[in-house]
Amino acid sequence: SEARFRNILEQTPEPVLVLKGEQMIVDIANQPLYRTWRTNASVLGKPLMECLPELRNQGIMEMLLDVYHNKKVIKGYDRPVVYDRGNEGTETLYYNFVYTPYVEGDGKVTGVLLIGTDVTGSVLARRKLEYSERRFRSIFDTTDVSIWEEDFSGVSTAINELKEQGVTDFQTYFDQHPQFVQDCMALIQVTDVNDATVQMFEADSKREILGNLPKIFSEETLPIFIGELLTIAEGRSEYR
């Protein structure tokens, strides 16, 4: 029944809205919707664009009319909606949403049912992470200092196996088992290097370096690599 539907709607934690007719008259709305709009039940009976004129030119009315006239269901993800907050300026919120025809008991479509989930927090967090990644990549690619990205997971597994065998004096073990050190070199996956590294090794491209760490290490660099192995074996977070 209508009363039961309204009761369910009021208990829904996400904004829910029912709009009626060509003008998209606000017919039903719940408290989360009012909070988002920063309004109250005074909007009931008013056209959507009268309540929120800032929605014009955001493509929302066009989608609503498409659903209403063509009985379509439209879904969207991370969709931005810009609200006019008066003296506070504008605020952009992001939604996952579903617009679906509102069908009466006789089967006639009289409006549109809107259900939205506010995903602003996750969208902004993802964008911040993407910005940090782009910034890191810019520094990585343009710095004059050689930088490597390496995957030591295979090395960690090999060292854990030594621990299970009872090895505790890793410095002595590495000194006495040079083949183990060589094997660990082969386990390292070089995932990326910057241009400074390519120039330092006078390589033709990154590809020449990636995956060929044992060929790059020389006798002079072995003590440094063994130091890295000790750092992993001893559970330290920094190489010294």
pLDDT in tens, 45-60: 999 999 999 999 999 9
- At 219, the pLDDT band (50, 70, 90 cuts) reads low
Q: Which residues does residue 93 pair with via DSSP β-bridges, in sequence order?
A: 81
pLDDT higher than 70, residue 131: yes
pLDDT higher than 70, residue 214: no
Contacts of 160 (CB under 8 A, 6+ apart): none
Q: Is the pTM of this model over 0.85?
A: no
Q: What is the mean pLDDT of residues 20-28?
A: 95
Residue 223 confidence (pLDDT): 83
Q: Which of 24-38, 64-78, 222-236 has the lowest mean pLDDT?
A: 222-236
Residue-wise pLDDT tens digits, 46-96 = 999 999 999 999 999 999 999 999 999 999 999 999 999 999 999 999 999
Residue 1 confidence (pLDDT): 57
**Tokens of residue 232, six digits:** 């992993």
CA–CA dist 72, 57 (Å, integer): 21
pLDDT higher than 70, residue 21: yes
